[in-house]
Amino acid sequence: MEENSKASDQNQFQANFQIPFDYFVSKKHQAIESGCVLGFTDSFGNFVYGVQHLSHKSKDRPHCIKLFLDASGDTLFSIHRVNKGSWQCFRGKESREEELIFKVERTVDGFTRTEFEISLSGESKEGSKIELKMKGSPFKRSCTIYKGDSIVAETSLMHKLGIKKMFIPRSRFRATIFPGCTDHSLALALVVIFFDGRKLWI
């Protein structure tokens, strides 16, 4: 547990670096804590974040909910899938309006192309406004998050270099956070939403 805490501290430190920072996303990793369906590790293999299913949609609970956890198992965000193309993200396990961080709407849902608009919650009277966009292909594990014309984060498949290129299984790929993004956990929560509901994913 102490090692996990150090990994979390390291992530906060890396957020200020002026170079891209890589996380490795996997459904199968020895560091994934019990109950997590997905894990994010750093380049040293340290477990940094995890995703846990809290519930599936039912008559009593209209939303499918996932929890985004830190290395200590504490809940950073709760991600609610409101319907097939709409999500809301709250701080911690709360779902009160004042704890709302952002809303996500899927605007394009094709086999080779998927696009989303992210509205960040503000304290102004105007409320939320669209500040981020996501575009990519879930099948290719390709997701790019934009703020204006700048890239905030992107995901990509990996391969081993050598005489013959060997591709890593699609259940494991890279998520790169670029300089200027001060909240890695929020960007990775958006990655979780991008792949949410895909049969080959989570």
- Give the C-alpha separation, 184 to 171, whole Å: 21
Residue 9: its pLDDT value, please?
52
Q: At what angle do helices 2-14 and 184-195 cross, to 10 degrees?
A: 100
Name residues of the chain where pLDDT drops below 70.
1-17, 28-34, 55-63, 122-128, 159-171, 199-202
What is the reported pLDDT for 202? 47
Q: Which residues lie closer than 8 Å to 124 by C-beta, 6 or more apart?
A: none
Look at residue 30 in the predicted model and tell me its pLDDT: 60
**Cα–Cα distance measured from residue 98 to residue 78, given in angstroms and rounded to the nearest whole number:** 14
Give residue-wise pLDDT tens across range 46-103. 999 999 987 665 555 556 899 999 999 899 999 999 988 999 999 998 888 889 999 9
